[in-house]
Chains A and B, each alone.
Chain A
């Protein structure tokens, strides 16, 4: 997904040809594809990369166990990217999230491992710390007017230092089993099944049904408002395609360890933030601020308030990521979360967000993050050395944005 397209992109192209946009009716597959080719580049790239590594690893990368691994390994980056993309759409940046992941995990570890509090106290404390960090940074950005780059660069040092202080510069481990389970466990065997988990399949089926149902409702609403919609067979084809992908994915998971809890957390977050960013007044105001700050201000958007909450939200999501990361690594380390901010930022830009603000989507950032995840994982499976992996990831980030800039320039020149 590139920089300007809402999730309902299939139905509402950004620059439709006059004939299509003016009348009510259905659009055919060919026109849909040509119009959306530019905006769907990221998905095509994602599919191509998945296919490439499936071939290079003889299918290992798509094996049940490996898919589970990818989810467990990269979920916290994806969660950070959800918050980061909102920050970037508003025209800011957050360099501190890696340190915040470390700090929240550390606070939780100290309470649960050192002080023997129950596991949920650690989780609540971590979230409280995340919110406080977000409020701190939001205050400086929104109310004092210091550029987010500076505030969060300071935060990066500040919260890393506090992490080391809290931990006394040693690693703490292990967490009690409940803590790990809440954040990196599986839902398995709830409904039985012979060699595969029925519950996982059921959740997958429910997700597909929900997708079809909400898609159908949107479609009805659009028809009621006399908006153009895709033709019915095309709509069915889209639901079937998405359904097939989701069910394949669920099938693979059901054959491994079942449904990872982090996947449920991630799914809920993506859905919630996808809707918030596109449909809520708050989300709209984020785009308005990033698109033209002065115009937003003169349209009555409370810019300071919105900016403040964007950072509070980022702090919250960094805390969620911190909890999941500490649970997965079964402890807290002074150097946890190092460079996470860069992975999260890269995910957003690969996913089509613009450095200048006003453009980007949660779904795009997720696909951007998954591209990075599948590549890293694939290269690990192939035994590519760490330095080479780094080089390739850097080049992919550069190429993704260059492609987007090139596309935009071409689109711009045609007007």
Chain B
């Protein structure tokens, strides 16, 4: 048997006007965990789509050798037939169907009568769940599981198809630390069973922790393949390959000079919209001009709920407390009132809540402040294009023109469109909820640079993030939120990940 289970040889894939992949080579050893990393838009996902047959043979140039044989997949069924299974970033599970139904969807266990044998299916599913370490009843609807568990169901589904080469696209992007750890451990176990994995990931610490080799792709070309066993391949080394230069730091420097207080939130309490519990409990915080304030908290601590309830009561019920903008109390009952008072909120889920994906950059940039572009209800389309074009340049949005459809941009560029939209409302306070989720190192750096420019221009910025290094890297002060309560605030020079984690897990005390 050949040493390589997979060889992709000089793969070139062109879209009209764009060369997405150019002579990309990828060798994957039998039984290894092979990481692929690169900036967003570098071509990682395209490469995996070529491999799995989403782009059928003939639509690209080059050769794919699998198990020593040249293969030509006409579609995803062909690749699955030989044991290549891809798990996409956006999970493809049906929320209303049970775990077992999802696992065998399209691959149903039929009895002799031709009907589905549910007893057998559920028993098989239970065995698969055990092998991925998921302790759930197979008849539980998938919608009731968290993202981490759904990811495991996807893997169980792959196992049911006798997977030999498992491809995971950003498997831990939406997972918390515990779930991520479990998932990575599972990949190791699968490796022991002889299953080869390809993992696309932005999280370099995970890559260095778990994978055997890593291939770096940049601008549609293979840069290098590094073995993580031979010698010291550090995260910095990988980043150098991804961006083609050394990032002196993940976080750009900024001289902090906070001015007057811009936002003050007092005794803010929010009830869950349907359940009888407080999601935010008596929270108080302030933000000054020229200051970046972080809000740290675990999943479910109420970070997003806090921000959205302030932003025109977009979340929750029976909201009480007071909000001051530049010393005056404001009562923003709707989003448009909040925008009018100079508050902007960029959501954590840009695809679902932030962008109109079927429209172009222009229409998205103008969406929150159409009034500024219009007289007596009529929009000046040329002015709109001009504004969008300015944003495209100043934000460095990589798109052929402002008429490009937003849904086709990479995550980092989509996030820049979201930021452009909110900057166009000319806010005093900008609340950024997970501003760098799912975007690559280079684009993250750009986002941080934009944030720095904003505070230098006297804006007040609130950053909500799950990544503590990010908060430590860009904030002046950090508040911690635990179960809806503010449990502490630290100036960044006194904060460490450990101290923040301690405060974030603190249950009872109210430090405020």
How far apart are the CA atoms of A284 and B367 in the complex, in Å?
Answer: 8
Whether the Cβ atoms of B358 and A300 lie closer than 8 Å is no
Chain A nearest CB: distance from B231 CB in Å?
40
Tell me the chain B residues, 347-379 only, with Cβ under 8 Å from chain A: 347, 352-360, 363, 366-368, 370-371, 374, 377-379
| Interfacial chain B residues near A284, Cβ < 8 Å | 363, 366, 370, 379
Contact with A along B397-423 (1 / 0, CB 8 A): 000110111001000000000000100
> Which residue of chain B is the closest to A228 with respect to CB atoms?
B401
- Give A284 to B373 CA distance when docked, in angstroms: 12
> In A364-378, which residues have CB < 8 Å from any B CB?
none
Contact B368 A299 (CB under 8 A): yes
- A297 and B314 contacting across the interface, CB-CB below 8 Å: yes
A16 to B401, CA, bound (A): 8
Task: Classify the interface of chain B: helix, strand, loop or mixed.
Answer: mixed
Q: Which of A70-78, A105-113, A274-282 contacts B (4 or more CB under 8 A)?
A: A274-282
Q: Is residue B23 within 8 Å, beta carbon to beta carbon, of the partner chain?
A: no
Decide: A294 and B379 in contact? CB cutoff 8 A: no
| Distance A225 CA – B354 CA, assembled complex (angstroms) | 28
Asked whether, in the complex, the Cβ of A292 is within 8 Å of the Cβ of B374, the reply is no
Say which residue of B336, B359, B378 sits within 8 Å of A279 (CB atoms). Answer: B378
- Least distance between B277 CB and chain A CB atoms (Å): 24
Q: Is the pair B17, A12 in contact by a Cβ cutoff of 8 Å?
A: no
* Interface window among A17-25, A118-126, A156-164, A173-181: A17-25
Give the interface centre of B314, B356, B374, B408 by most chain A CB atoms within 10 Å: B356
Residue of A nearest to B382 (CB): A225
- Is B382 touching A297 in the complex (CB atoms < 8 A)? no
B55, B335, B360: which contacts A298 (Cβ < 8 A)? B335
Q: Is the CB of B385 within 8 A of A225?
A: yes
A413 to B338, CA, bound (A): 40
- Bound complex: CA of A359 vs CA of B360, how far in Å? 12
Interface string of A258-299 (1 = CB under 8 A from B): 000000000000000000001111101101100110111111
CB distance from B434 to the nearest CB of A (A): 15
State whether A294 and B353 are in contact (beta carbons under 8 Å apart), knowing that A227-B385, A279-B378 are contacts in the complex.
Answer: yes
Q: Does B394 contact A (CB under 8 A)?
A: no
Q: Count the A residues whose beta carbon is within 8 Å of the partner chain — how many?
A: 40
User: B81 near A: Cβ within 8 Å?
Assistant: no
Are A4 and B358 interface neighbours, CB within 8 A?
A: yes
Do A298 and B405 touch across chains, with their CB atoms under 8 A apart? no
Interchain nearest-CB distance for A225 vs B (Å): 4
Report yes or no: B403 in contact with A12, Cβ–Cβ below 8 A: yes
Contacts of A299 in B (CB 8 A): 335, 367-368, 421
Q: Which residue of A lies closest to B371 (CB)?
A: A281
Number of interface residues of B (CB under 8 A): 45
Expressed in whole angstroms, the Cα–Cα distance for A415 and B347 within the complex equals 26
Which residues does chain B contribute within 8 Å of A291, judged by CB atoms?
356-359
Is A238 at the interface (CB under 8 A from chain B)? Answer: no
A415 contacts B335, C-beta separation under 8 Å:
no
Q: Which one of A4, A278, A288, A414 lies within 8 Å of B15 (CB-CB)?
A: A414
Q: How far is the CB of B190 from the nearest CB of chain A, in Å?
A: 32
Contact with B along A193-233 (1 / 0, CB 8 A): 00000000000000000000000000001101101000000
B352 CB to closest chain A CB, in angstroms? 6
B377 neighbours in A (Cβ, 8 Å)? 280-282
Q: Which residues of A contact B28 (CB under 8 A)?
A: none
How far, in Å, is A395 (CB) from chain B's closest CB?
28
Contact B367 A295 (CB under 8 A): yes
Q: Tell me the minimal C-beta distance from A415 to chain B in angstroms.
A: 5
- Residue contact B359 to A358, C-beta cutoff 8 Å: yes
A390 at the interface (CB under 8 A from B): no
Report whether A279 and B381 are in contact in the complex, using a CB–CB cutoff of 8 Å: yes
Contact indicator B356/A296 (Cβ below 8 Å): yes
Q: Is B234 an interface residue (CB 8 A)?
A: no
| CB within 8 Å of B: which A297-322 residues | 297-302
A298 touches B400 (CB 8 A): no
List B residues 302-334 near A (Cβ within 8 Å): 311-312, 314, 334
Residues of B within 8 A of A358 (CB): 356, 358-359
Smallest CB–CB gap between A89 and chain B, Å? Answer: 11
Whether B355 contacts A292 by the Cβ 8 Å rule is yes
Q: Using a CB–CB distance below 8 Å, which chain B residues touch chain A?
A: 15-17, 55, 311-312, 314, 334-336, 338-339, 345, 347, 352-360, 363, 366-368, 370-371, 374, 377-379, 381-383, 385-386, 400-401, 403-405, 408, 421
In the complex, 8 of the A-B residue pairs with CB atoms within 8 angstroms, ordered by the A residue number, are A14-B403, A22-B401, A281-B371, A285-B370, A291-B358, A294-B353, A295-B367, A298-B345
Q: What 20 new A-B contacts, CB under 8 Å, besides A291-B356, A291-B358, A300-B334?
A: A14-B360, A16-B401, A17-B16, A17-B17, A224-B382, A225-B382, A280-B374, A284-B366, A284-B370, A285-B370, A287-B356, A292-B357, A294-B352, A295-B367, A296-B367, A297-B335, A298-B314, A298-B335, A298-B353, A414-B15
Q: Which 9 A-B pairs have the closest CB atoms?
A: A21-B401, A291-B356, A300-B336, A18-B400, A225-B382, A299-B368, A300-B335, A299-B367, A292-B356
